[in-house]
Structure 1
Amino acid sequence: MNDDPTQDADDTTHLCEQQVLGLAIPALGALLAEPLFVLTDSAIVGHLGSAQLAGLGTAGAALNTLVNVCVFLAYNTTAQVSRLIGAGLRKQGLARGIDGLYLAAGIGLLLAVVGVLGAEPIVRWLGAGTQAAPYAATYLRISSVGLPGMLLVLAATGLLRGLRDMRTPLLVAAAAAVVNTLVNWILVYPCGLGIAGSAAGTAGVQTAMAGAYAYIVVRACRAEGISPWPDARAIRASLTANFALLVRTIGLRVYWLAAVWAAGRLGTDALAANTIAGNLWITLALALDALAIAAQALVGHELGAGRIGQTRRMVARMNRWGLWFGVITGIGLAALSPVLAGAFTSDPAVARLLTPVALVTAAFLPAAGVVFVLDGVLIGAGDAVFLAWASLACTAVFLGLLAILFAAHGDLTWLWVAVGVFTLARLACFWFRARGTAWVRVGAQAER
């Protein structure tokens, strides 16, 4: 173990100014490209009408839930692969990534069946009104066909991040975002398919992305002399070990679905405005997540190599970057808030609701920047059990705030204040955890 303070300080200076930016900048491009799929759908579908936009919001929340509960396919793969690489075990790291791809394909097929067969009851459960429900069911049913591809993209991206290859996901995601915009517009307007065309376009592009990643990974296996076939025992072990991270993600999705449900209770216009605000929040939050992605790969690598002092200094530096990144994006969103609505909707009622929500969102982005960094640090360290408990506790806080909101007859702006308080609760949990030592575990395998 190398824990010499002088050597660590020299290495960390180079790491923070070279490697972190070298990972975070392309990760930022890839993360911005991915939510452009949803923002493109919002901009295209939004001009069809508020009912279609509200339907997209409900279906999008359901679809994102089905996908994001499986985000461990990316996160845990990154952590496992980066640890093994840090310990000098490259072939074993690549093999674990292959197992993740097969696990993703199996889960994706199961979720596709759920989405196709259960579209109507799912959107009704989420509170879609009579006007929005048919559009929501149509979008969810068609988009669910692309779920296997979406999950394969998650797993493959996690593998490449663990190998500290951020360039390939950036190129694939950027190309897909451009193609998605063109295909969706053609299907929705010239072809006259409406919201169904938007769903079909997005599902098709995601499936094409999965095919591109599969080709890249198979080629890498051949170069390393590794079999591209899965290890069934490793897949079962991975699924079991990821349970805590799955619970963490479910807690976060419950909070987000509860917010969508609450917006639906406030009316169709409120749900439409919440759809736009939610997509903006996700886009900006994932932009902040670029540092978290770098943290996952680097923390796993450094702990795998046994460099504790370097890891702590790197975390402190990245927290500062996360804070300032949040400040900058918050100022930008606040400045653009008066003109944002026109890009997504022509309905004046929806536009009036959106402006104050955008300002509230901007106020909480600095806290979100630090939250995302620390979340990435703890994921990279394999601290999944703590993340699961923290997620459940913060979600409980948010649900309590929703009860107060409805009792006080609060509006959409106050709903987003509750979202901000949820972010602050996560910040408090992560900050106190990071100050301790329980998350610091070195070696090729993090203790479970």
Structure 2
Amino acid sequence: MVSFSALLQEGRTPTRREEISAVLALSWPAIVQQLMLTLVQYIDTAMVGSLGPNATASVGVVSSSVWLFNGLLGAAAIGFAVQVAQHIGAGETEQARGVVRESLLFNVLFGLFMGALAVGLSFPLPGLLGAEEAIQPDASWYFRIVGCSMPFLMAINLLSSLLRCMGDTRTPMLYNITLNILNTIFNFLLIYPSREASLFGTTLWLPGAGLGVPGAALGSAFASLLVALLFLRRFFRRGFPLQIHLRDKFRFTKSCLSAMVRIAIPQAMAHTASCGAQIAVTVIAAGLGTQAVAANSLAVTAEALCYQPGYGVSTAATTLVGQAIGAGRRDMAVRFARVSTWLGMAIMTGTGLLMFLFAEPLIGMFTPDVDVMRLGASVLRIEAFAEPLFAASIVASGAFSGAGDTKWSFAANLLSMWGVRLPIALLLIGSLGLTGMWIAMCCELSLKGLVFLWRLRSNRWLDSGTVVVGRERA
């Protein structure tokens, strides 16, 4: 990050090599972090999958709803993080520190609200989503426990975003590795009952609560609480560039909140539109039976390994574009947006190829059911063809967010999900089943990627964003 700051201060145009180096320096820890988060999901899915298709389906039927809630928390985090990036780019350290204080206050209030909402919805949700009666109790408990952990999940999301927009992507990576380790330990203790196991000829007694599906959610909740405390400790530590103190005044300001709303609301609406369509598709898939729901859930989980590197590069794009905008270097914002997008597309082309070649082993990690594995692998191979253009929409959207332009991404996601994916899915699912649903997803992601590339090339996103630097805080 030092090299990028130096480029901003020097006021010169970087070489292509320097651009790629800056993107990679920020991207690789973020990619590792995203992969660690995916690994947490993999471990949850594999451990739950060992309990049988019903357990997998009970998690899968509410997974889109979990994604919806997490996305809303993430949208709020972006609303604050973009402001921090722009203030740092402009050298406005005190204003950046003020944004951090307001974001923490917002985290407490919004996290508790979202948690209470999730707990309230957990009772009727599985039935509303069309889940079979046999899996509804576990699905309800899983979502209820996830709801209770919302304040911790938001803290991790928020503080990770703030650190990344400061240019520190390594700390979130290390803390999320810790999250993964803790999650595995807690899951092992909470999902399975106490039992004996043989290791090198020695019989060991392993303790366990035997909670099954609810144990997976509880393990993740405990891990999230501990890691959220680690993140908070970082921001209160002496010598931290944006250190905060308990004696500081934690209050909202009109300027910061209004900027957060302008950035976050379109982001939240885009995510809601996307998840709403995904939930609608999940309801349709539920009508295909428990096996199809399980295969769909496992394929979605397995695909995350392919696209999460794109989100890592997107994180770098948000930081680089945000700081360039804050420094008044629109030319560098454009260059870094384009380099990041092409780099993300190259990476996800490679991961898409790997996903196509190793689809069955990927799904096989999560379930012993051969029929579920075959169905999940077949739809995963369809999705592999969309990954390069999916990367374009992921990374370009991150670049647009760095400039504070989130309204356009909302409109694009709304139209693509509800105008392309859902109609094609409804058209094909009757004759092709789950395969038809994934063909629809492949078509929608490819078309959306092309549209984002057009927007990136037009440079109109530079004039449509929210810029917060150079103003007094009210």
* Match status 1:158 vs 2:161: yes
Greater Cα shift, 334-343 or 169-178: 334-343
Aligned to 1:376: 398
Cα shift at 1:280: 1.8
* Match status 1:177 vs 2:180: yes
Kindly indicate whether the alpha-carbon contact (under 8 Å) linking 1:91 and 1:226 is maintained by their aligned counterparts in 2: no
* Match status 1:232 vs 2:255: no
Q: What CA distance in whole angstroms lies between the structure 2 residues aligned with 1:96 and 1:147?
A: 21
Cα shift at 1:166: 0.3
> How big is each residue's C-alpha offset from its partner over 1:83-140, in whole Å with a ceiling of 9 and x where there is no partner?
1111111221132123122212211111211222321211212221112212101111
Kindly indicate whether the alpha-carbon contact (under 8 Å) linking 1:75 and 1:296 is maintained by their aligned counterparts in 2: no
Amino acid at match of 2:352: G
Larger helix proportion of the pair: 1
Amino acid at match of 1:404: L
SS at match of 1:440: helix
Q: What CA distance in whole angstroms lies between the structure 2 residues aligned with 1:342 and 1:282?
A: 15
Amino acid at match of 1:53: T
Q: Which runs of 5+ in 2 are unaligned?
A: 1-6, 195-207
> Aligned to 2:302, which of 277, 280, 285?
280
Amino acid at match of 2:388: P
Judging changes above 3 Å, is the alpha-carbon distance between structure 1 residues 74 and 15 closer, same or farther for their aligned structure 2 residues?
farther
Aligned to 2:352: 330
SS at match of 2:431: coil
Amino acid at match of 2:76: L
* Match status 1:208 vs 2:208: no
Q: Which runs of 5+ in 1 are unaligned?
A: none
Q: What CA distance in whole angstroms lies between the structure 2 residues aligned with 1:132 and 1:159?
A: 38
Kindly indicate whether the alpha-carbon contact (under 8 Å) linking 1:188 and 1:196 is maintained by their aligned counterparts in 2: yes
Cα shift at 1:398: 1.8
Kindly indicate whether the alpha-carbon contact (under 8 Å) linking 2:404 and 2:466 is maintained by their aligned counterparts in 1: no
Cα shift at 1:357: 1.0
SS at match of 1:164: coil
Judging changes above 3 Å, is the alpha-carbon distance between structure 1 residues 379 and 224 closer, same or farther for their aligned structure 2 residues?
closer
* Match status 1:259 vs 2:281: yes
Aligned to 1:25: 28
Aligned to 1:400: 423
Q: What CA distance in whole angstroms lies between the structure 2 residues aligned with 1:142 and 1:255?
A: 24
Kindly indicate whether the alpha-carbon contact (under 8 Å) linking 1:303 and 1:381 is maintained by their aligned counterparts in 2: yes
* Match status 1:359 vs 2:381: yes
Amino acid at match of 1:207: L
Amino acid at match of 1:209: V
> How big is each residue's C-alpha offset from its partner over 1:297-340, in whole Å with a ceiling of 9 and x where there is no partner?
00011111122222222222222212211111011111211322
Amino acid at match of 1:93: A
Percent identity, aligned pairs only?
Answer: 26
Q: What CA distance in whole angstroms lies between the structure 1 residues aligned with 2:109 and 2:395?
A: 30
Q: What CA distance in whole angstroms lies between the structure 2 residues aligned with 1:446 and 1:86?
A: 9
Judging changes above 3 Å, is the alpha-carbon distance between structure 1 residues 324 and 115 closer, same or farther for their aligned structure 2 residues?
same
RMSD: 2.3
Judging changes above 3 Å, is the alpha-carbon distance between structure 1 residues 446 and 412 closer, same or farther for their aligned structure 2 residues?
farther
> How big is each residue's C-alpha offset from its partner over 1:176-219, in whole Å with a ceiling of 9 and x where there is no partner?
10111121012111321111211110011111111111111122
Kindly indicate whether the alpha-carbon contact (under 8 Å) linking 2:391 and 2:449 is maintained by their aligned counterparts in 1: no
> How big is each residue's C-alpha offset from its partner over 1:128-161, in whole Å with a ceiling of 9 and x where there is no partner?
1112212101111122111110011111111111
Q: What CA distance in whole angstroms lies between the structure 1 residues aligned with 2:12 and 2:91?
A: 22
Amino acid at match of 1:215: R
Aligned to 1:426: 448
Cα shift at 1:276: 0.7
Kindly indicate whether the alpha-carbon contact (under 8 Å) linking 1:306 and 1:443 is maintained by their aligned counterparts in 2: no
Kindly indicate whether the alpha-carbon contact (under 8 Å) linking 1:288 and 1:326 is maintained by their aligned counterparts in 2: yes
Greater Cα shift, 223-232 or 142-151: 223-232
Q: What CA distance in whole angstroms lies between the structure 1 residues aligned with 2:242 and 2:176?
A: 25
Judging changes above 3 Å, is the alpha-carbon distance between structure 1 residues 296 and 434 closer, same or farther for their aligned structure 2 residues?
same
Kindly indicate whether the alpha-carbon contact (under 8 Å) linking 1:83 and 1:443 is maintained by their aligned counterparts in 2: no
Kindly indicate whether the alpha-carbon contact (under 8 Å) linking 2:237 and 2:243 is maintained by their aligned counterparts in 1: no
Q: What TM-score do the two structures reach when normalised by structure 1?
A: 0.92
Amino acid at match of 2:124: P
Greater Cα shift, 437-446 or 286-295: 437-446
Aligned to 1:198: 216
Amino acid at match of 2:294: A
Kindly indicate whether the alpha-carbon contact (under 8 Å) linking 2:79 and 2:261 is maintained by their aligned counterparts in 1: no
Q: What TM-score do the two structures reach when normalised by structure 2?
A: 0.87
Aligned to 2:361: 339
Aligned to 1:70: 73
